[in-house]
Amino acid sequence: MDNFATSKRTNLDHLIGVEAFDPMEGDIRETADCERAMKGVNVVVHLAALGSVPRSIADPISSHAVNLGGFLNVLQAARTAGVQRFVFASSSSVYGDSTELPKREENIGKPLSPYAITKYGNEVYARLFHRLHGMRTIGLRFFNVFGERQDPEGPYAAAIPRFIKAFLAHSSPQIYGDGLQSRDFTYVANAVEAVQKAVVCADERAFGQVFNVAYGSRVTLLELVDALRNALVSIDPAVAGVKAEHAPERGGDIRDSLADITKARDVLGFGPKVDLQQGLDRAIPWYVANWG
């Protein structure tokens, strides 16, 4: 189910005609849509959200309505329908102002944005429904997921697609702050693996818990820009002369992010296989073909 507010229908073109694929257009803010989506379902993977920390700061009401109110609608509809397995997307933003590296699930700081508050609220609700109703909930704290089909347009686009699009247009990619902030960028195939592991996990320790989902390494934004430039030069030599420009820091951004994925390895059997460079090697050709 999707309302396509932050995605494109064309992203699903390759799935049209696949027997097991049955798309439904709907909105998680609508109780009736959530109830309709649960018919015949025994596992829910809930990834719907209004993403972006800056968006949530600019419009906290919408972020709350979608990310927290919508989450509760989906969770309650799943419980009423008798769904036992409920896998959902949380976010590394819940670590807030914690300076601990690497980030461990049991230690979080104070939230830095409305988005972070909504994602932590999701975790609290899921844990409560596990305790009250025995629902087998599993939360996945995704760290900076990137990959093909991630939209590079708009004011709230993620860093990697935004930087790639800028380079391809021979326009300076914009870095907020000094560029020394670090991120644990996670290729989408690793995120998919974590979802698949959570869907089939039989370990009782997993339920009512949250798990970091990342590769487990970090780079600064300056290092990321250099890696993208180097990768794109072989496709377009003019990219070599494109330099990044700096803008003021943004409120709500975490300074450094690096995940400890020990818990996910031990309990879910999660083992990410694609590092940042390998992920860029897979994603960049798609962006060149579609945005070059």
Give the active site residue among 95, 115, 120, 215. Answer: 115
* Domains and their CATH numbers in the chain: 9-291 (3.40.50.720)
pLDDT one-digit tens code per residue, 40-78? 999 999 999 999 999 999 999 999 999 999 999 999 999
pLDDT one-digit tens code per residue, 83-135? 999 999 999 999 999 999 999 999 999 999 999 999 999 999 999 999 999 99
pLDDT for 32? 98
pLDDT one-digit tens code per residue, 129-167? 999 999 999 999 999 999 999 999 887 789 999 999 999
pLDDT one-digit tens code per residue, 211-253? 999 999 999 999 999 999 999 999 999 999 999 999 999 988 8
Q: Are strands 219-220 and 182-183 parallel, antiparallel or unpaired?
A: antiparallel
Counting residues of the chain whose pLDDT is more than 70, the rounded percentage is 100
Tell whether the model's pLDDT for residue 292 goes beyond 80. no
Q: Give the gyration radius of the chain's Cα atoms.
A: 19
pLDDT one-digit tens code per residue, 189-201? 999 999 999 999 9
Task: Name the band, by pLDDT with cuts 50, 70 and 90, for residue 285.
Answer: very high
- Residues 167-196 have a mean pLDDT of 96
Is there a catalytic annotation at residue 115?
Answer: yes
d(CA 135, CA 78): 9
Tell whether the model's pLDDT for residue 9 goes beyond 80. yes
pLDDT for 141? 98
pLDDT for 7? 86
Task: Name the band, by pLDDT with cuts 50, 70 and 90, for residue 6.
Answer: confident
Instruction: Collect all residues with Cβ–Cβ distance below 8 Å to 190 and sequence separation of at least 6.
Output: 213, 214, 215, 272, 273, 274, 279
Cβ neighbours around 223 below 10 Å, total = 15
pLDDT for 20? 87
d(CA 165, CA 167): 6
What CA–CA distances, in Å, run from 108 to 5, 65, 93, 97, 117? 30, 24, 9, 8, 12
pLDDT for 291? 87
Phi/psi at 141 (nearest 5 deg)? -85, 95
d(CA 156, CA 234): 28
pLDDT for 30? 97
Nearest CA to 274 out of 217, 222, 224, 235 is that of: 217
Tell me the whole-structure pTM to 2 decimals.
0.95
